[in-house]
Amino acid sequence: MKQAAYIVNTGIITAIGNDTAACLDALLHSRTGVGKAEYLKTHWSEELPVAEVKASNEALAALATVDAKWPRTAILSAIAVKEAIQPVADKLHGLKVGFFSATTVGGMDLTENVYKAFKEDSSQVDFDNIKNHECGAITELVANHFGINDFVTTISTACSSSANSIMMAAQMIGNGMLDVAIAGGADSLSRFTLNGFNTLMILDKQFCQPFDNNRRGLNLGEGAGYLLLMSEKAMQQCGATATCIVSGYANANDAYHQTASSPDGTGNKRAMGNALKVANLQPADINYINLHGTGTANNDSSEGKAIEVLFDGKVPAASSTKAYTGHTLGAAAGVEAVFSVLSIRHGLVYPNLRWQTQMEDVSFKPATELQQGVAINHVLSNSFGFGGNCSSLVFSKC
Amino acid sequence: MELYITGTGIVSGAGNSGDDNFLKEAPSYNTDKLLCIEPDYKAYIPPMQLRRMSKAVRIGIGASKMCMEAAGIEKPGAISVGTAMGCLADTEVFLGKMIAQDEQMLTPTAFIQSTHNTVSGQIALLAGCYGHNLTYVQRGHSFEHAVINTQLYLADNPHQQMLVGGIDELTDGSLEALKIAGINRKENSTPADVLNGNTHGAVAGEGAAFFIMTDAKPATPAVCIKDVYAFTEKDTAAAAQKLTNYINSQSLNLDVVILGQSGDEKSNAFYLSLCSGVFANTSQYAFKHLCGEYATSSAFALGMLTNTIAKGEALPSHCALGNEAGVLKNVLIVNHYMHYYSCFVLQIV
């Protein structure tokens, strides 16, 4: 029998807020974080809106009390980890603590500024801008800052990355390998990812409209989101309480195309179905689905069709929160795990912002009004990505 | 949980495991980098697809196909890959063009293939594998964590064949950075420098080593992973002590230890203290004179052993640091990359 992985606290920073309370307030008041890039210096700043955290690296580093020369992804990660770990930071003595992070850009925001000069003459470039390029370096910086070393890992499975870090953390707490885990992910905006997604022609030049028939694509975002997970024993030692657990998780592959989902959402269906099995739940038990809902024609259609089949037409309240935060890539599942926990804790269904027109190939309508005081016992959160990577998590009230 | 290895595929600077003469001869070179000697991929990858693949994807797919062929399976139940650097060449292609063209008129191919999970995704795509699929990117523990994930997955989903690999490619850009970081050596090295030198940094390497791992003991002799011990430590003396404590706690009747000795002066302190200490009475072998130093090279070491066992051979003589082993039953692989340490506890069953 596996031990439960209790969700004791959350830590988050996105374009809609620098911590959990600020993000919740924005969700409750339908405030979007999408807008014009101010800190990301790009040719496309006038044409491609992004959900940017509106602060310089220096200002953000001061929030986390870390070095402003770190890659922005590491700074964002440290801010969210600091919030997540804060209530128990001085109570973890003797407990095995793990840090499970996820990122897709790593230190690219610094590398891309010096790459040309580095290739021309490496001695002319401050090596501090290159040395933390690796994804694992981001996690290492943050783990060392917080003194976490029992198990430290980074997962990079594109847009599903942090769902997998939460899955692995729940497994390792489940079988007693760890007592405590900080699990989620972080990604900053970079010219590399903005231009990459732009070449795929899946970026919306307007504010994105997930699950709308006239959707045009996604807006990239940045941020970090982490859960503080604990075994029962660790909660007792720390005097901590929890409102919910990670009850289900699954990872599957769509095996269809490197960057596109199969039309009927083969991998999506498998991930959702297997996550429900692990949670020992039926589709009818789910009260809210936090959709992957990027706003691209392909994703929302595949995901919507997979949900209709799995839920046999009886789809519970569902919404995408990417119209608020943009698509934060490797951080997305961590960010949305925090929103899922808040949904259970406060009985909330978030409105799917900017929704106007029913999709033609999907019959269910996302939630468009804020619902408060709803009994939310089980939330399903989806994350699908390049490489066919599909992951779903289930969070349940305890 | 114990894992049994039923198939191995390697593409490395020392050749590939599909070649009958793989590792038979002592290597000979004087270089700063050991790049993969790639196989003829005709048997493994359709030519149309091969043309579009970067080296990382080619060596990854090639090694995974060799490995599945050796294990006699068409597709695995799940995939777990470790890569510290991911698909660097495509990353640099897109980055270079983005800067040169001031973010305009870019094409998506290199970006699409630049994501860290490209290799695991492409393997799934080519094999039609809908199962669990993960990519770990934790520096010198990337492969180790892919193996730990295999233990976690098979504990929940027994009796599956899981494809597990470690892969990293070297580019001109990464070699330059790794030299500045002091991980790889600026000067050329010979195999003797790797085995006996005391230099600043080690010869650079790259490669892909893939395995089929399962939780059920196979009928034919195979390597069993009893445990994976991975830790980080800044101080080499403290690392040697940690590893010694771990080995002493395991009551192992060791026959062979395969060491990641690279000729680097900082690493040497760690290995030498173990060789004169806890491994004093154990036959010692090296592997980095074959594959070079890179973050997922422990996968190559494991592959060298599993490939040897599958062929019913002895470990290559040119890998022995002293007396060759009489018995090959209980084996450790001990590796150090920067301050990432790992130890695979293995038994031939």
**Domain locations in chain B as residue ranges:** 3-214, 227-348
* CA distances (Å), origin A345, targets A10, A395, B90, B192, B254: 12, 11, 44, 63, 53
The domain made up of B3-214 has a fold known as: Peroxisomal Thiolase; Chain A, domain 1 (3.40.47)
Judge whether A339 and A162 are in contact, CB under 8 Å. no
Nearest CA distance, A139 vs chain B (angstrom): 8
Q: Which residues partner with A203 through β-bridges?
A: A218
pLDDT at A263 over 80: yes
What is the spatial distance between Cα A152 and Cα A157, in angstroms, rounded to a whole number?
17
DSSP string, B202-232: B-EE-EEEEEEEESSPPSS--EEEEEEEEEE
Mean pLDDT of A309-338: 98
Judge whether B146 and B80 are in contact, CB under 8 Å. yes
Chain A partners within 8 Å of B180 (Cβ): 122, 127, 130
> CA A277: distance to chain centroid?
22
Share of chain B above pLDDT 70, in %: 100
The band of B91, judged by pLDDT with boundaries at 50, 70 and 90, is: very high
Every domain of chain A and the residues it spans? 6-238, 246-397
**End-to-end Cα separation, chain B, in angstroms:** 15
Judge whether B256 and B332 are in contact, CB under 8 Å. yes
What is the spatial distance between Cα B318 and Cα B315, in angstroms, rounded to a whole number?
9
DSSP string, B249-277: HHT---SEEEE---SBHHHHHHHHHHHTT
In a 13 Å sphere around the CA of A129, the CA atoms on its Cβ side amount to: 15
What is the spatial distance between Cα A167 and Cα A181, in angstroms, rounded to a whole number?
11
**B119: CB partners within 8 A, 6+ apart:** B56, B57, B60, B61, B81, B83, B87, B135, B165, B167, B208
* Averaged pLDDT score across all residues of chain A: 97
What are B263-275's pLDDT values in tens digits? 999 999 999 999 9
Q: What is the pLDDT of residue A289?
A: 98
Judge whether B19 and B11 are in contact, CB under 8 Å. no
Q: Write down the catalytic residue from A133, A145, A327, A378.
A: A327
Nearest CA distance, B271 vs chain A (angstrom): 22
**Tokens 């699409």, residue located:** B112
The one-letter amino acid at A338:
V
The one-letter amino acid at A156:
S
Q: Do domains B3-214 and B227-348 have the same CATH topology?
A: yes
Judge whether A23 and A338 are in contact, CB under 8 Å. yes
Q: Write down the catalytic residue from A145, A292, A378, A390.
A: A292
Mean pLDDT of A87-105: 97
Other Cβ atoms within 10 Å of A86 Cβ, number: 13
Other Cβ atoms within 10 Å of B4 Cβ, number: 17
What is the spatial distance between Cα B149 and Cα B136, in angstroms, rounded to a whole number?
9
Mean pLDDT of B100-123: 96
The one-letter amino acid at A327:
H
Q: What is the pLDDT of residue A88?
A: 97
* SS3 track for chain A: CCCCCEEEEEEEEECCECCHHHHHHHHHCCCCCEECCCCCCCCCCCCCCEECCCCCHHHHHHHHCCCCCCCHHHHHHHHHHHHHHHHHCCCCCCCCEEEEEECCCCCHHHHHHHHHHHHHCHHHCCHHHCCCCCHHHHHHHHHHHHCCCCEEEEECCHHHHHHHHHHHHHHHHHCCCCCEEEEEEEECCCHHHHHHHHHCCCECCCCCCCCCCCCCCECEECEEEEEEEECHHHHHHHCCCCCEEEEEEEEEECCCCCCCCCCCCHHHHHHHHHHHHHHCCCHHHCCEEECCCCCCHHHHHHHHHHHHHHCCCCCCEEECCHHHHCECHHHHHHHHHHHHHHHHHHCCECCCCCCCCCCCCCCCCCCCCCECCCCCCEEEEEEECHHHEEEEEEEEEC
**End-to-end Cα separation, chain A, in angstroms:** 17
Q: With an 8 Å Cβ cutoff, is A203 touching chain B?
A: no
Residue A327: active-site member = yes
**Interface with A, mutate which of B1, B92, B133, B141 (most A CBs under 10 A):** B133
pLDDT at B251 over 90: no
The domain made up of B227-348 has a fold known as: Peroxisomal Thiolase; Chain A, domain 1 (3.40.47)
Residue among B233, B322, B314 at smallest CA distance from B275: B322
Q: Write down the catalytic residue from A135, A159, A244, A390.
A: A159
**What are the tokens at A324?**
């608020």
Among B residues 40-79, those touching chain A with beta carbons less than 8 Å apart: 79
What are A108-127's pLDDT values in tens digits? 999 999 999 999 999 999 99
What is the spatial distance between Cα B160 and Cα B270, in angstroms, rounded to a whole number?
37
**B118: CB partners within 8 A, 6+ apart:** A258, A386, A387, B56, B57, B86, B87, B90, B112
Q: Do domains A6-238 and A246-397 have the same CATH topology?
A: yes
Residue among B137, B145, B146 at smallest CA distance from B115: B137
Chain B partners within 8 Å of A139 (Cβ): 138
What is the spatial distance between Cα A268 and Cα B125, in angstroms, rounded to a whole number?
15
What are A36-73's pLDDT values in tens digits? 999 999 999 999 999 999 999 999 999 999 999 999 99
Residue A133: active-site member = no
CATH number of A246-397: 3.40.47.10
Other Cβ atoms within 10 Å of B25 Cβ, number: 11
The one-letter amino acid at A323:
A
- Inter-chain contact A149–B232, Cβ cutoff 8 Å? yes
Judge whether A172 and A181 are in contact, CB under 8 Å. yes
Judge whether B275 and B284 are in contact, CB under 8 Å. yes
Q: What is the pLDDT of residue A119?
A: 94
What is the spatial distance between Cα B66 and Cα B46, in angstroms, rounded to a whole number?
14
What is the spatial distance between Cα A363 and Cα A150, in angstroms, rounded to a whole number?
47
What are B166-205's pLDDT values in tens digits? 999 999 999 999 999 999 999 999 999 999 999 999 999 9
pLDDT at A1 over 80: no
**Interface with A, mutate which of B97, B137, B149 (most A CBs under 10 A):** B137
- Inter-chain contact A152–B232, Cβ cutoff 8 Å? yes
In this structure, CATH architecture of domain A6-238? 3-Layer(aba) Sandwich (3.40)
